[in-house]
């Protein structure tokens, strides 16, 4: 069993009967969904909301009841992946292009668990490109601004065209190498008209479950 699968399967132990569970997006979450599906077949009763169309489709196919987010008035627990996590449990997310919906769900969850393999644990954020979700209109102006700020921007592409998120936006990835002030950088980027969301998730994760070799390590806020 690989590190992602170990972390993912461990996280399912935190899901209890009657919970409304937020389902993140990405390859590690997919392992969690399969394990959750097994537990539901054994009698676990939960409802869920999804952070992306991909997650919705996979969860539904596995027999997990996924509700429309508009019909939910609480989320007890959200389990999601992360692209990088620092020692303060701040992270970069959005490699799977679902950062906006992931942040909406996380921000309305009582508890947030991130599941990662050991390669995602870093001393400082920034090696992984920072996703910035932007409205298409005027995105070239934002791109130029980021170039002038020496943020080394690049539009995320799919089949030669700008990738379009579930929300109908573009993603500009910033290749920063190192982020010294994640809270300050998020505030700075959000000042610019056209920026919808930033893939910096600070103060959000309550628990991080990391696969390390053949064991799991649990970090708490």
Rounded-to-integer distance, Cα 122 and Cα 65, Å: 35
State the average pLDDT over residues 176-197.
96
Q: How many CB atoms lie within 10 A of CB 152?
A: 13
Give the pLDDT score at 221: 86
Of 80, 191, 53, nearest to 132 (Cα)?
191
Residue 96 above 80 pLDDT? yes
Q: State which fold the 130-196 domain adopts.
A: Alpha-Beta Plaits (3.30.70)
pLDDT confidence of residue 1: 76
The full set of domain ranges for the chain reads 3-123+202-214, 130-196
The residues that are catalytic are 102
Ramachandran angles phi, psi of 29, nearest 5° = -60, -35
Local confidence band at 211 (pLDDT 50, 70, 90 cut-offs) = very high
pTM of this structure: 0.95
| pLDDT for residue 5 | 96
Looking at CATH, the fold of the domain delimited by 3-123+202-214 is given as Rossmann fold (3.40.50)
pLDDT at 79 over 80: yes
- pLDDT of 179 strictly over 80: yes
């Amino acid at each position: 069993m690989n590190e992602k699968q170990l972390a993912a399967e461990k996280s399912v132990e935190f899901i209890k009967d009657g919970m409304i569970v937020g389902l993140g997006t990405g390859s590690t979450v997919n392992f969690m969904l399969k394990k959750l599906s097994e537990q539901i077949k054994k009698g676990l009763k939960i409802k869920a909301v999804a952070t992306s169309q991909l997650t919705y489709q996979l969860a539904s196919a596995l027999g997990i009841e996924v509700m429309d987010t508009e019909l939910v008035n609480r989320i007890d627990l959200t389990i999601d992946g992360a692209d990088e996590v620092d020692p303060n449990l701040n992270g970069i997310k959005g490699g799977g292009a679902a950062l906006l919906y992931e942040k909406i769900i996380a921000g309305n969850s009582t508890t947030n668990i991130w599941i990662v393999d050991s390669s995602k644990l870093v001393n400082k954020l920034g090696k992984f490109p920072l996703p910035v979700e932007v409205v298409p209109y005027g995105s070239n102006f934002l791109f130029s601004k980021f170039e002038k700020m020496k943020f080394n921007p690049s539009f995320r592409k799919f089949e030669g065209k700008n990738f379009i998120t579930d929300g109908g936006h573009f993603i500009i990835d910033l290749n920063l190498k190192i982020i010294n002030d994640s809270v300050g950088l998020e505030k700075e980027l959000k000042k610019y008209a056209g920026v919808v969301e930033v893939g910096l998730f600070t103060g959000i994760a309550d628990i991080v479950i990391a696969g390390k070799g053949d064991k799991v390590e649990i970090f708490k806020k």
